[in-house]
C-alpha cells in the first residue's frame, strides 16, 4: 500500500476524504474514525445527516475536522456544496450507514447534503452499516446492499455484538480502527482498473497459530501472530469478496466486513476451514497449524517432579489441512494457497524445501517466508517468494503485510474461473 500522507502535508497533496455520518447511535464512534483520518494526513470533510446531529453536535465535528459542518444544501450556497463536495472527493466513507441511508443511496434520492454528495461522487465509496439485526436482515435492506455493491460501492458487513439496549446480534458498527484500515485499502486501489475484482467471490482465510494442550494450563504452540492472515482478509474484503476468517488464538481486532470464526486447536481449525471451504472460490491457509499434538492430554496440571526429571512426551501427527484441501477440493475449481515458513539446514535451502512442499501439498500457490532467526513473526512487514504449481517464482520485496496480501490476491484472481457462478 502506498505510504499515507503525514500531518503538515500541503493540502493539494492530501487525499480528500468525505466522512458521511448517518443518524444512528453509533455516530459517536465516527469521531474516532475522523481522528484517524485527520492524524494520518487526510483532508476530511464531515457531512452528517440532520439525524446524526441529534447524536453528535456540529461543534464536535468542526473541532475535530477543522472545517465548518452542515447537513443541508442551504449552507454556503454560493459554493454549491451539494455538487462540489462529491466532485472533489478522493474517497467517501459513510459510517454509520443506517438502513434509511442505504435505501436512499440505493434509490438515488438526494434530499440532503450527504445523499446529494453520494450522487455526485465519482470516487470509491465505502459504507459501514450499523442497525438492529432485524433491519439488516430484512429483504429490503439486503436488496439495497446488493444494488450498491453491483454499482461498485464497498458495503462492509456489520459486526456482531451488543446493539442498542439489551439486544445482541449482527448489526454493530465495525471497530473504527478497522473501518479506517478498510478505507485505506480501498483508497490505495482507487487507480486500479478493476478494484473490486473479487466482487461476488467467497474466500476463506486462516490466520494465527494453533495450540495443542498438554494439560489445562500448558500447550504446544508457535509464534504466529495472525497479522498476515488478517491483512489477507482485510485486502480481500476491500476488493469486494465475502470473507470468512478462521482465526487461531489471535488477539487482533476483527477486520471490518469480515466474518471471524475463532478456534484453538488444529482439529478445530480443520473443521472450520473445511466447512467454510465448501462454498468458497479460494482458500488461503495463512495459519500455522501445529504439526503434532500430545498423544494423551492430562486432565489435571502436570506437576513438577522433585527429582528434577522431565515427563516423557509422546506426540502424534495432526491432520495435514493444506494437503487435504488441495487433493480433495471441497468445491470444484477452488484456488488453494498455502504458506511455508522455512529455515534452511544441511538437507537443503529454504527454496529447495519450499518447492518440495509445494509438490507434496498439491496447492496452486505457495507463499514462502524465510523465517531464519525468527524473521517475520509479529512484524508489520513481510517479504516472500510466491511459488506456483507451474514452476514460477515471484519474489516480493520487503514491505507491508498488506502489500504482500494484495500480491497474493492478484495471483489468485488470475487463477480463478472467470465466471463466479460456475464450479
Unique residue bearing C-alpha cell 456482531: 160
Radius of gyration of the chain (CA): 24
Cell numbers for 320: 495435514
With contact defined as beta carbons under 8 Å apart, do 367 and 338 qualify? yes
Taking alpha carbons only, the member of 328, 320, 408 closest to residue 368 is 408
Is 369 an active-site residue? no
Distance between alpha carbon 60 and the CA centroid of its chain, in Å?
Answer: 29
Active-site residue, from 144, 194, 222, 382: 222
SS3 258: strand
Task: Report CA-CA distances (Å) from 150 to 102, 144, 145, 146, 401.
Answer: 14, 10, 9, 6, 29
Cell numbers for 372: 531464519
Distance CA 173, CA 51 (A): 17
Distance CA 91, CA 238 (A): 13
Distance CA 281, CA 207 (A): 18
With contact defined as beta carbons under 8 Å apart, do 285 and 319 qualify? no
Residue 214 phi/psi, 5° resolution?
A: -90, -40
Taking alpha carbons only, the member of 377, 337, 383, 376 closest to residue 224 is 377
Kindly list the catalytic residues.
222
Amino acid at each position: 500500500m502506498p505510504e499515507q500522507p503525514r500531518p503538515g502535508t500541503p493540502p493539494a497533496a492530501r487525499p480528500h476524504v468525505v466522512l458521511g455520518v448517518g443518524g444512528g447511535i453509533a455516530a459517536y464512534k465516527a469521531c474516532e474514525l475522523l481522528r484517524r483520518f485527520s492524524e494520518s494526513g487526510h483532508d476530511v470533510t464531515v457531512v452528517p445527516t440532520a439525524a446524526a446531529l441529534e447524536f453528535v453536535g456540529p461543534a464536535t465535528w468542526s473541532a475535530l475536522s477543522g472545517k465548518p459542518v452542515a447537513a443541508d444544501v442551504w449552507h454556503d450556497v454560493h459554493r454549491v456544496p451539494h455538487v462540489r463536495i462529491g466532485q472533489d472527493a478522493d474517497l467517501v466513507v459513510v459510517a454509520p450507514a443506517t438502513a434509511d441511508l442505504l435505501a436512499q443511496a440505493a434509490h438515488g434520492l438526494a434530499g440532503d447534503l450527504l445523499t446529494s454528495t453520494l450522487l455526485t461522487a465519482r470516487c470509491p465509496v465505502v459504507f459501514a452499516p450499523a442497525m438492529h439485526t432485524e433491519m439488516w436482515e430484512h429483504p429490503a435492506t439486503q436488496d439495497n446492499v446488493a444494488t450498491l455493491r453491483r454499482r461498485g460501492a464497498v458495503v462492509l458487513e456489520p459486526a456482531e455484538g451488543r446493539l442498542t439496549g439489551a439486544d445482541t446480534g449482527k448489526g454493530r458498527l465495525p471497530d473504527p480502527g478497522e473501518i479506517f484500515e478498510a478505507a485505506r485499502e480501498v483508497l490505495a486501489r482507487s487507480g486500479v482498473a478493476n478494484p473490486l475484482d473479487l466482487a461476488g467471490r467467497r474466500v476463506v482465510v486462516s490466520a494465527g497459530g494453533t495450540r495443542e494442550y498438554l494439560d489445562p494450563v500448558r500447550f504446544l504452540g508457535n509464534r504466529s501472530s495472525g497479522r498476515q492472515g488478517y491483512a489477507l482478509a482485510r485486502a480481500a474484503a476491500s476488493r469486494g469478496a465475502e470473507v470468512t476468517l478462521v482465526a487461531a488464538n489471535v488477539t487482533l481486532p476483527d477486520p471490518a466486513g469480515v466474518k471471524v470464526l475463532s478456534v484453538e486447536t488444529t482439529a478445530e481449525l480443520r473443521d472450520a476451514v473445511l466447512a467454510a471451504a465448501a462454498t468458497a472460490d479460494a482458500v488461503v491457509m495463512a495459519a500455522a497449524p501445529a504439526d503434532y499434538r500430545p498423544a494423551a492430554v492430562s486432565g489435571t496440571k502436570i506437576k513438577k517432579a522433585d527429582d528434577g526429571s522431565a515427563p516423557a512426551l509422546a506426540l502424534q501427527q495432526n491432520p495435514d489441512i493444506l494437503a487435504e484441501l488441495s487433493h480433495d477440493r471441497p468445491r470444484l475449481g477452488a484456488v488453494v494457497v498455502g504458506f511455508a515458513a522455512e529455515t534452511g539446514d544441511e538437507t537443503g535451502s529454504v527454496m529447495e524445501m519450499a518447492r518440495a512442499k509445494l509438490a507434496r501439498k498439491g496447492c496452486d500457490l505457495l507463499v514462502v517466508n524465510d523465517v531464519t532467526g525468527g524473521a517475520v513473526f509479529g512484524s508489520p512487514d513481510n517479504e516472500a517468494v510466491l511459488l506456483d504449481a507451474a514452476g514460477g517464482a515471484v519474489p516480493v520485496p520487503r514491505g507491508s503485510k498488506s502489500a504482500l496480501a494484495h500480491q497474493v490476491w492478484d495471483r489468485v484472481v488470475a487463477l480463478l474461473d472467470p465466471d463466479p457462478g460456475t464450479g
